Amino acid sequence: MCLNKTLLQLKLSPHDSISVCRDLRKNKNCKYYSKLMKDLGKTEDISIIAKKLLIEPCDADEIISFAGGAGYCPYFLSKLLLEKVGIVICSYHWLFNPDIKEIFLKFINKDLFNCILINDECHNILSMATQVNSERISPFILKLALKDLELYNADRDMINLIRILIAHLENKKTNLNVEERELNPEILVKNLYEKIGLKDLNSFKILIKELKEFSSYVAEIKSSQGLVQRDYIGSIAKYWLKWLEVLDNERFFFCYNLRTTREGNKNISMEIVALDPREITVPVFKNAFSTLSLSGTVNPYVYTNLMGLNETGKTSKVIVSPSPFPKNNIKALIIENINTKKVNRGAQTYKKMVNKIEEVIYCTPGNVGIFCASYNVLKGLLTQDIEQIVQKYNKKLYIEDSNISAAENAIMIENFKSEGKNNGAVLLGVCGGRNSEGEDYPAEFMNSVVIAGFPYHVPTPRVNAKIKYYDKVFRNRGWEFAYLYPAIERANQAAGRPIRKLDDKGAIIFLDNRFKDKMKWISSWLRDEIEVIPDKKGAITQQLFPFWNEGYF
């Protein structure tokens, strides 16, 4: 919601944006904030603005437009307006991120126990709650912190700490032959303080606290000089304070993470991974006056346990509503004798899948979505000439690319949707991606969807650590809670893309027979409509052709 060109040009993370914004305001270098505060201090009153702007429900774009016309900061105008409204629609972060929550509650001038919290698409809280409780550092941020430490004459031990960390991560980047490797936090920190020349862990803790204090000192100097503040040193201090806090806590997992970019470059990070969302969610559910969690795909039993609803001291109730969609508008199929387990992922399996997908494309009058279990499955379909199959039926193929920007992806999706009014197109993407969960395809935007494979995550060390931890705290349900449930949730989300409105008509095809064995985990609105059909040529056509030709045209 920022209009300040200085901040916008920097393209910062949310955390760094807040720091820069603070400095711009403190040094009176933001004309939008200054004018807002000046006018509110003179003739304008926030109640008067509220009466102009809040005649009816108001979204961010309308606030930005109004504020831009008045020369005000839209962000702070929206925060000042919060106290004047009864209903606020916001990101989960506003209440589940502990730091942001306190600021938000201050602006609405309410305690959490005076709030009713409605969590829409509540299945997304699980990953968000662990992400906000996790930390990571990389050589990039370390090198920027080192520059500031050297420029402002930091203590030798602080500089040595950062230099040792950079050398350590660069060495790991060269020698690691896996994407992720667990590390022992106690051994690593012991090696670290010994290399610095410190005598024990307590000395290291003191050094980190001094590093945190030094970051505040640097911030004051930069602010007094009118410089844009990016708190690299503070980010490193925050990371190590977290490390020391959870060093022997079983709810956290420590690892190296190595990623290869599209250009072939390797990026490494060292991560503190939160395994349990309850540390974040329980205080919110416990302290709110009342909460309502809504989802079309969530498993109530898993959600109740992972959110810690049974630990809040409050009564909870599960309501599973019947499907509102006409049965004649849904055709759901599971195809026998196709299995995308790793051992089966070869040319023969991918060729069979492409043959089945061809039948779906042939029968579907408009757009088709294909959401694969992984990018490896997606690539496997491409090796078996799926592009030629799509062209055979005069449709366009759009392929999801995780490396393109959100804006580029949005243009691609709009182009795909527009083809629904013509001869149709095919979107090839992945389950759990931005196009299979964050996007809707009602009416002609997507007629049929194929779930190509069972979307289990690769069993990385962090996934295995979560399974082991959940086994301990959820009575041996670790595999179901940490591995099966996230996979079926991704499939459920992808499967529901074409069915968004009551009059939508859609076909959902599961190309993996493991869905038959895990049928009870599929969303009830869809599970009740599923038919299991044999692996025979023309079997899909036999089901879909009548479905699309009875009253569709």
Domain boundary residue, one of 295, 320, 345: 320
Beta bridge pairs of residue 372: 430, 452
Same structural domain, 17 and 153: no
426 near 388, Cβ under 8 Å? no
Domain CATH for 435? 3.40.50.300
Mean pLDDT, residues 91-109: 92
Question: What percent of the chain is helix, strand and coil (3-state, nearest 5)?
Answer: 55, 10, 30
Q: How many domains does the chain have?
A: 4
Same structural domain, 435 and 468: yes
- Is 99 a residue whose pLDDT tops 50? yes
Domain CATH for 146? 1.10.275.40
Same structural domain, 439 and 470: yes
128 located within any domain: no
pLDDT at 229: 67
- Is 259 a residue whose pLDDT tops 80? yes
Same structural domain, 302 and 345: no
Same structural domain, 490 and 359: yes
pLDDT at 37: 92
130 located within any domain: no
273 near 255, Cβ under 8 Å? yes
pLDDT at 553: 41
3-state secondary structure of 454: coil
Paired sense of beta strands 425-430 and 530-533, if any: unpaired
Cβ-based burial of 256 (10 A; exposed 0-12, middle 13-18, buried ≥19): buried
402 located within any domain: yes
Mean pLDDT, residues 535-542: 95
220 located within any domain: yes
334 located within any domain: yes
Per-residue confidence band for 15, with pLDDT thresholds at 50, 70 and 90: confident
What's CA 374's distance to the chain center, in Å? 16
DSSP 176-230: --SSEEE--HHHHHHHHHHHHT-SSHHHHHHHHHHHHHHHHHHHHHHHHTTPPP-
- Is 552 a residue whose pLDDT tops 60? no
Same structural domain, 245 and 313: no
- Is 39 a residue whose pLDDT tops 50? yes
Mean pLDDT, residues 72-78: 94
Beta bridge pairs of residue 508: 332, 449
- Is 49 a residue whose pLDDT tops 70? yes
Per-residue confidence band for 43, with pLDDT thresholds at 50, 70 and 90: low
359 near 538, Cβ under 8 Å? yes
381 vs 374: CA distance, rounded Å: 11
127 located within any domain: no
Per-residue confidence band for 228, with pLDDT thresholds at 50, 70 and 90: low
Which two tokens mark 194? Answer: 């010994």
Same structural domain, 251 and 304: no
Same structural domain, 7 and 84: yes
Per-residue confidence band for 242, with pLDDT thresholds at 50, 70 and 90: very high
Same structural domain, 301 and 262: no
- Is 427 a residue whose pLDDT tops 60? yes
For 135, 202, 272, 283, the CA distances from 241, given in Å and listed in that order, are: 10, 12, 11, 22
46 vs 48: CA distance, rounded Å: 5
Average pLDDT of the residues of the chain? 93
- Is 44 a residue whose pLDDT tops 80? no
- Is 532 a residue whose pLDDT tops 50? yes
Residue 172: domain span = 135-274
* Phi and psi based region of residue 431 (left: phi greater than 0; alpha: psi -120 to 50; beta: remaining): beta
Rounded percentage of the chain residues whose pLDDT exceeds 90: 82
DSSP 71-86: T--HHHHHHHHGGG-S
129 located within any domain: no
Tell me the chain's radius of gyration from C-alpha atoms: 27
- Is 120 a residue whose pLDDT tops 90? yes
Mean pLDDT, residues 509-513: 97
Amino acid letter, residue 392: K
Same structural domain, 26 and 144: no
- Is 14 a residue whose pLDDT tops 80? no
Paired sense of beta strands 266-274 and 396-399, if any: unpaired
Total residues belonging to the chain: 553
What single DSSP character describes residue 483?
A: I
515 vs 518: CA distance, rounded Å: 5
pLDDT one-digit tens code per residue, 56-71: 899 999 999 999 999 9
Cβ-based burial of 76 (10 A; exposed 0-12, middle 13-18, buried ≥19): buried
- Is 45 a residue whose pLDDT tops 90? no
Mean pLDDT, residues 156-174: 96
Domain boundary residue, one of 287, 320, 353: 320
pLDDT one-digit tens code per residue, 384-404: 999 999 999 999 999 999 888
- Is 379 a residue whose pLDDT tops 80? yes
pTM of the model: 0.89
Same structural domain, 21 and 145: no
Domain boundary residue, one of 239, 274, 309: 274
E strand or H helix that includes residue 187: helix 185-196
- Is 227 a residue whose pLDDT tops 50? yes
Amino acid letter, residue 110: K
pLDDT one-digit tens code per residue, 273-289: 999 999 999 999 999 99
Which two tokens mark 437? Answer: 């969960």
Same structural domain, 465 and 363: yes
149 vs 147: CA distance, rounded Å: 6
